[in-house]
């Protein structure tokens, strides 16, 4: 499996293509993001299938990659429509995935890093007021934060 093929898989991800995860992930792969931590390709598939139930028009766009022999970092933007709280507007989450590969070249470890406070909570009507107040309280003077 090539990293470019995996990136193309994520660029074209759809409810139907979630079934293709075993082509790219080993059976006991680990996945972690700010909301989930699972082991096994079937559990990973459930997370991505759930994404299609909770968001409209979800899409991943990988903009950069850093690669070595058995791991990679992917810099991406996730876009989606949030009908329940975003007024149907397209929302964006920017993040990084750390991937490790087994001897067969399949993903054995996938960890997504993204700032849930800035990328999600600050966009929720009720939580945004609380988050802005918390940022104001914790930001160092002159740190450039504007409420």
User: Cα-atom radius of gyration of the chain, to the nearest Å?
Assistant: 17
Q: Is 105 left (phi over 0), alpha (psi -120 to 50) or beta?
A: left
Complete domains list, the chain, with CATH: 3-115 (3.10.450.50)
**Which whole number is the average pLDDT over 102-129?**
75
Q: pLDDT by residue (tens digit) across 47-82? A: 999 999 888 899 999 999 999 989 999 999 999 887
Q: pLDDT by residue (tens digit) across 74-112? A: 999 999 887 665 567 788 889 999 999 999 999 999 999
- Structure confidence at residue 123 (pLDDT): 56
pLDDT band per the 50, 70, 90 thresholds, residue 136: low
Is the confidence at residue 18, as pLDDT, over 70? yes
- Structure confidence at residue 93 (pLDDT): 87
d(CA 64, CA 133): 34
Q: What percent of the chain has pLDDT over 70?
A: 73
Q: For residue 132, count CB atoms less than 10 angstroms from its CB and return exposed for 0-12, middle for 13-18, buried for 19 or more.
A: middle
């Amino acid at each position: 499996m090539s990293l470019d093929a995996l990136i193309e898989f994520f660029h074209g991800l759809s409810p139907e293509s979630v079934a293709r995860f075993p082509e790219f992930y080993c059976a006991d792969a680990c996945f972690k993001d700010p909301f989930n931590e699972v082991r096994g390709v079937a559990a990973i598939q459930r997370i991505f299938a759930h994404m299609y139930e909770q968001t409209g028009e979800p899409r991943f766009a990988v903009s950069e990659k850093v690669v070595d022999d058995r791991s990679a970092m992917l810099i991406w933007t996730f876009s989606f429509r949030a009908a329940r709280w975003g007024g149907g507007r397209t929302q964006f989450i920017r993040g990084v995935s750390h991937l490790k590969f087994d001897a067969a070249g399949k993903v054995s470890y996938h960890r997504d890093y993204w700032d849930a406070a800035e990328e999600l909570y600050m966009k929720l009507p009720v939580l945004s007021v609380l988050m802005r107040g918390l940022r104001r309280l914790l930001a160092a003077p002159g740190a450039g934060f504007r409420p």
